[in-house]
C-alpha cells in the first residue's frame, strides 16, 4: 500500500476509534457501585437490574468508606477509600476480577478522598475533602507530587471539594459542598456549594456554577456531588440533597432539572450519589433512603430529555428498587467483564486528543515533504 495512503488511513481510523470510545459502551457493560457503609463494591446487570455479585468484597485491601470509582489506562480500578488521615488512600484493584493489587496513592495530607480523576498531564488528581485540597499524584507510580489547589474559607473557594472531572476544554471541574476543613473535620458555616473551573497551567479557579435555589424536595440546602459529561457535550451535576441539574458547558446556563425524589416524600427521605452515562444516552445515579437504614436504589433517566426511565414494574426513575445489596451507595461506574473496563470520560478524551494530534502531525509531515 502507498505509504501516504497508509499514514492517512491510520490517522483517520485512530481518531475515529478514539471518538467512538468517547460516546459508546460495550453492549454487555455492567454497573459497579460503591457502598460507603458496606465497605465494598457491588456489580449489577445494567440490562435487568439484577444483583450479580460483590466485585470487591467488604474490607478487601483495607477498603473503608469507598466513594469514587475510576478506571485507569492500565485497565485497573482505582477506588477512593478512607474517612480520616490515617486510612485515606486510593486503592488499586484488578479491573476484571476485583482482586486487590496495592495501595496506589496516599500521603501528602490526604484525608477523606471524595473524588479522583486522571488528568491529561498524566497525574492523578484527588480531592481531599477534610483538608479542602486537591492533591496530585504520579499517574503511573502513585507518588505524591504536590498540592494542586487549597481552600481559603471564603465564598468561591475550594470548600469541601468532592467530584473531579476533566472536560474537552482542558479545564478541571470540581464540585464543592460548601464546608470548611478545620482540624480535619468538616464544618458548615453556610458557604455556597458550587462548581469551580480550574485552569491547569495557572492553577487558578473561577466559579463556573454558583449555588442554585435548593430543590423543593430537599431539607433547604444544596450539596453538589457528582459530575458527568453527557453525550450532548454538556455537564450534569448531582445534588446530594436532591435533583440532577443539566448545564451548558460553554455558558454555565441551566438546561434542565431532573427530579431524584424517588421516595415521594417532602422533604425527601432519600439522598443522591454520583452519575454515570450508559449506552443510548441513558443516565444512571444511585440514592439511599435514610429512613430504611440507608438502603439504596438505582435510578435511570433519558439523558437527552431528562425523563425518568424506570424498569418494568417500577415508578418514578427507579431502575433497581430499594435493596439491602446497596448500603449508602455513592460511587457508580461501568465495567465490561468480558472485554475490558470502560474508561472514564477524561481517558476517552485523551485518546481522542491523541488521535487528533497524530492526524495533525502526519499532515504537517506530508506538507513539509511536498514543499521540499
How many domains are contained in the chain? 2
Residue among 241, 243, 236, 239 at smallest CA distance from 260: 243
- Least confident piece of the model among 58-67, 186-195, 282-291, 309-318: 186-195
CA distance 85 to 14: 43
C-alpha cell at 158: 475550594
**98 and 20 co-located in one domain:** no
For position 56, what pLDDT does the model report?
A: 98
Average pLDDT, the chain: 87
**Residue 269 exposed, middle or buried by CB count within 10 Å (0-12, 13-18, 19+):** middle
Lowest mean pLDDT across 23-27, 85-89, 202-206, 332-336 = 23-27
Distance CA 214, CA 219 (A): 8
Q: What is the CATH number of the domain that holds 275?
A: 2.120.10.30
Rounded to an integer, the average pLDDT of 5-12 is 37
**Residue 207 shares a structural domain with residue 333:** yes
Whether residues 7 and 36 share a domain: the answer is: no
Same domain flag for 45 and 110? yes
Among the listed residues 106, 100, 109, 104, the one whose alpha carbon sits nearest the alpha carbon of residue 132? 109
* Residue 52 structural domain: 28-339
pLDDT tens digits, residue range 45-67? 999 999 999 999 999 999 999 99
Same domain for 34 and 171? yes
* Residues 4 and 147 placed together within one structural domain of the fold: no
DSSP-assigned letter for residue 192: P
Q: What mean pLDDT do residues 182-209 have?
A: 94
In this prediction, residue 28 carries a pLDDT of: 65
Residues 191 and 165 in one domain: yes
Q: Residue 78: is its pLDDT beyond 90?
A: yes
Of 280, 44, 285, the closest CA to residue 163 belongs to 285
Does 27 have pLDDT greater than 80? no
High-pLDDT (> 90) share of the chain, %: 78
Residue 371 has pLDDT above 60, yes or no: no
Quickly state the pLDDT bin for 14 (edges 50, 70, 90). very low
Amino acid at each position: 500500500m502507498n505509504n501516504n495512503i497508509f499514514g492517512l488511513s491510520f490517522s483517520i481510523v485512530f481518531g475515529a476509534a478514539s471518538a467512538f470510545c468517547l460516546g459508546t459502551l460495550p453492549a454487555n457493560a455492567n454497573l459497579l457501585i460503591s457502598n460507603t457503609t458496606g465497605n465494598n463494591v457491588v456489580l449489577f446487570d445494567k440490562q435487568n437490574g439484577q444483583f450479580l455479585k460483590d466485585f470487591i468484597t467488604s474490607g478487601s485491601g483495607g477498603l473503608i468508606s469507598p466513594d469514587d470509582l475510576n478506571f485507569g489506562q492500565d485497565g485497573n480500578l482505582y477506588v477512593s477509600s478512607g474517612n480520616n488521615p490515617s486510612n485515606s488512600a486510593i486503592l488499586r484493584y484488578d479491573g476484571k476480577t476485583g482482586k486487590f493489587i496495592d495501595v496506589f496513592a496516599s500521603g501528602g495530607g490526604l484525608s477523606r478522598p471524595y473524588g479522583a480523576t486522571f488528568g491529561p498531564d498524566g497525574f492523578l488528581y484527588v480531592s481531599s475533602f477534610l483538608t479542602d485540597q486537591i492533591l496530585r499524584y504520579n499517574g503511573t507510580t502513585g507518588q505524591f507530587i504536590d498540592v494542586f489547589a487549597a481552600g481559603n474559607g471564603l465564598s468561591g473557594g475550594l470548600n469541601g471539594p468532592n467530584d473531579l472531572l476533566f472536560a474537552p476544554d482542558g479545564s478541571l471541574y470540581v464540585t464543592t459542598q460548601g464546608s470548611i476543613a478545620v482540624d480535619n473535620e468538616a464544618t458548615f458555616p453556610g458557604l455556597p456549594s458550587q462548581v469551580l473551573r480550574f485552569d491547569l497551567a495557572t492553577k487558578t479557579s473561577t466559579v463556573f456554577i454558583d449555588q442554585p435555589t435548593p430543590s423543593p424536595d430537599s431539607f433547604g440546602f444544596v450539596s453538589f456531588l457528582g459530575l458527568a459529561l453527557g453525550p450532548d457535550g454538556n455537564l450534569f451535576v448531582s445534588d446530594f440533597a436532591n435533583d440532577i441539574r443539566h448545564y451548558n458547558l460553554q455558558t454555565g446556563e441551566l438546561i434542565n432539572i431532573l427530579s431524584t425524589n424517588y421516595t415521594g416524600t417532602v422533604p425527601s427521605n432519600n439522598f443522591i450519589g454520583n452519575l454515570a452515562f450508559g449506552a443510548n444516552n441513558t443516565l444512571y445515579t444511585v440514592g439511599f433512603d435514610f429512613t430504611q437504614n440507608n438502603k439504596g436504589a438505582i435510578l435511570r433517566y433519558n439523558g437527552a430529555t431528562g425523563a425518568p426511565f424506570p424498569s418494568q414494574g417500577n415508578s418514578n426513575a427507579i431502575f433497581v428498587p430499594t435493596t439491602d445489596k446497596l448500603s449508602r451507595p455513592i460511587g457508580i461506574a461501568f465495567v465490561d467483564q468480558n472485554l475490558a473496563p470502560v474508561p472514564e470520560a477524561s481517558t476517552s478524551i485523551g485518546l481522542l486528543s491523541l488521535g487528533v494530534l497524530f492526524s495533525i502531525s502526519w499532515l504537517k509531515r506530508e506538507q513539509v515533504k511536498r514543499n521540499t
